[in-house]
Structure 1
Amino acid sequence: METKTKEVANILKAPAPNMVGDGFRVHNFFPSGYEIDMNPFFLMDYGSKIEFSARKEPRGVGVHPHRGFETVTIAYHGAVAHHDSSGNSGIIYPGDIQWMTAASGILHKEYHEQAYSLAGGPFQMVQLWVNLPAKDKMSKPKYQAIKQADLATFTLQDEGGKIEIIAGNYQGIKGNANTFTPIELYNARLNKGGKANFNFAANFNTGFMVIEGSIKVNGEDTAEVNNFIHFKNDGEEISIEALENSIVLILSGEPIDEPIFQYGPFLMNTESEIEIAISDYNHGKFGYLEE
């Protein structure tokens, strides 16, 4: 059976930035920046490349709760340290991924790593909120630390570059991250002229974020750095070609066909579940984490 091209719906420019705490300047592509359906990805904050000056006291975001979803942080420049109320801590260096399942509830803080803060320099990251199905929203929090050196990779032909498989399966190679629902998440690191092909189910919501460089999509559309390419749900095949050395974050996932009710850092199915989350947080059921 012949496959069909998954066509481009829109090529979206970065919305106006906003600050999260004093350490993260982000462009929220969705849900507030653009009304696009990327379910099971609920939110994408893209921190385009920015220079932070050297500073003794690290910038960042103080203690805050999460429930009902996962946060996925992907680092390209700079370094972020983090702690949570489950006792997890670590540093996300360029190329690393932090996959935190907040699920039933967690307190979390994230800030510029000390050595990076003292030196300053370029900073560029992506944070995704990945929804959880209702049956898993109150599961136990967990944490997956994925170092770039440990990522499964596929080498492209003709010295075209490589695909780093964070989650899902590319050309038979499985990514490191365990997910609750079918999700494909890759970094395509392409050399100029490098080509890569992707195949995602027609119903999977799909978007590509151009982190660096510029690419041609399906032989027709050109997308530049800081552009997000949103695809239609009408085909399976996507091809890209790097017009210069490029990095592209690939997102594709099966929608979770359940109602969503969001309030601040809580992502549940009903308003009453949000009320319970707020009550649990106020009664200290998310644990304790020092500021």
Structure 2
Amino acid sequence: MNKNRTIKSIIYADKIDMGGFPVRQAFPSSKAEQIDPFLLLHHANVKVPTHIPVSKAGVGPHPHRGFSPVTFIFKGGVHHRDSRGNDNVIYEGGTQWMNAGMGIIHSERPPHNIHEIGGVQEIIQLWVNTPAKHKMDQPVYIPASKEEIPFIETADGLARVNIVSGELDGVKGIIPTLSPVNTFTADIKKGGKFQFRIPASQHAFIYVLSGTVNVGDTEEIDANYVAIFNEDGEGFAIEAKADTCLFIGTGEPLNEPIASHGPFVMNNQTQIMEAFKDYQMGKMGVLIEDAPNP
């Protein structure tokens, strides 16, 4: 029988201000640095303002290099545009995955009909580090709607796990990744249970967006907490104590040096300086937001 993992730490995701946006930062923090290969997790649940045009809400054009900023959408939608000509809206249950590679500029706005579908955006943005050998690859943008993402549902109908990337119980996710990375979202109704089986070599964590779960027999994890696992088993068992929405991330550690500054994540400071220079010289392209929302 495979041994279940124990929990290394349970950490509350404090609210921080990100350029006027209130977000919860599960990591990094003073209690938990990066969970290699995962660099950062932000959870936002915001009401889109009505006093400004939707086209000016959200996050305007900004660059990235050297990692994958990934947005998982739980409520509302996200309108992505970038300097490679991609222009797409993904709604609740979908994912926007972007391998920034050598450099790309993108924006993330609410869709034009956000107020017609509730006016709320709830998202997780996860930064996934890119292996050194792929940091200067050409950028790739991969949208995935809720309908395109495969899932597993328990026989009693109480638990549904969506496999965005990687593999779970033989079901493969839709997103190809540059290193072994599993990303799952799950909705588990009160009393529902699910056994996650993952490679013993991978780092793993869960983040609870809403509700409460028990991990194993004893550890209780409430909403807005991240639980980071030890590498001492090949899975973990979840039981929902209330209707729960959670995010699960596991990945093979890269074990590579990290140098980061703002929107760039590389392996040394020289590469960071080169990233800023290339951005200033226009080598990451240009994004002009003058087209109407689709």
Shift of 1:56: 4.3
Secondary structure class of the residue paired with 1:16: strand
Q: 2:260 aligns to what?
A: 262
The change in CA–CA distance for 1:30 and 1:276 in structure 2 (over 3 A counts) is same
Q: Is the 8 A contact 1:103 1:139 kept in 2?
A: yes
Seq. identity, %: 36
The CA distance in 2 between the partners of 1:223 and 1:118, in whole Å, is: 34
Matched letter for residue 57 of structure 1: P
Q: Give 1:45 shift.
A: 1.0
Q: Pick the aligned partner of 1:180 from 171, 178, 184.
A: 178
Q: Partner letter of residue 60 of structure 1?
A: G
Residue 119 of structure 1: how far off its partner (Å): 7.0
Structure-1 residue corresponding to 2:292: none
Inter-partner Cα distance in structure 1 for 2:102 and 2:177? 16
2:124 is the alignment partner of 1:101: no
CA 1:157/1:120 → structure 2, altered by over 3 Å: closer, same or farther?
A: closer
**Structure 1 residues 153-162 or 117-126, which shifts more?**
117-126
SS in 2 for 1:288: coil
Where do residues 241-260 of structure 1 align in structure 2 (5 Å cutoff)? 241-260=239-258
Q: Give the Cα separation in 2 of the matches to 1:215 and 1:133.
A: 33
Query: Segments of 4+ in structure 1 off by > 6 A?
Result: none
Deviation at residue 247 of structure 1 after TM alignment: 1.3
- Is 1:215 the counterpart of 2:216? The answer is no
Are 2:64 and 1:66 aligned? yes
The equivalent residue for 1:45 is: 42
TM-score (normalised: structure 1):
0.93
Gaps of at least 5 residues in structure 2 are 290-294
User: How do residues 115-154 of structure 1 correspond to structure 2 at under 5 angstroms?
Assistant: 115-117=113-115, 121-154=119-152
Structure 1: 5+ residue stretches without partners? none
Whole-angstrom distance in 2 between the partners of 1:158 and 1:123: 30
Is the 1:53–1:120 contact (alpha carbons within 8 Å) kept by the matching residues of 2? no
Distance 1:267 1:192, change over 3 A: same
The answer to whether 1:30 aligns with 2:27 is: yes
The Cα offsets for residues 233-285 of structure 1, whole Å up to 9 and x where unpaired, read as 22222000111221111100000011111011110011111111111111110
Q: 1:201 matched to which residue of 2?
A: 199
CA RMSD in angstroms, aligned pairs only: 1.7
Alpha-carbon distance between aligned partners in 2 of 1:226 and 1:126, rounded to the nearest angstrom = 12
The 1:46/1:33 distance shift into structure 2, 3 A limit, reads farther
Q: Which stretch of the first structure deviates more once superposed, 253-262 or 8-17? A: 8-17
Number of equivalenced pairs: 287
Q: Deviations over 1:31-74 (max 9, x none)?
A: 24642341111111111x34344344121122111000111100
Whichever residue aligns with residue 53 of structure 2, its letter is E
Structure-2 separation of matches of 1:252 and 1:83: 28
Shift of 1:122: 2.8
Q: Which stretch has the larger CA shift, 185-194 or 129-138? A: 185-194
Task: Give the TM-score of the pair, scaled to structure 2.
Answer: 0.92
Partner of 1:273: 271
Identify if the C-alpha distance between structure 1 residues 201 and 230 changes in structure 2 by more than 3 Å, giving closer, same or farther. same
User: Quick check: 1:82–1:109 contact (8 Å CA) kept in 2?
Assistant: yes
Q: How much does 1:152 deviate?
A: 0.7
Deviation at 1:227, TM superposition (A): 1.4
Partners of 2:64 and 2:15 in 1: CA distance: 25
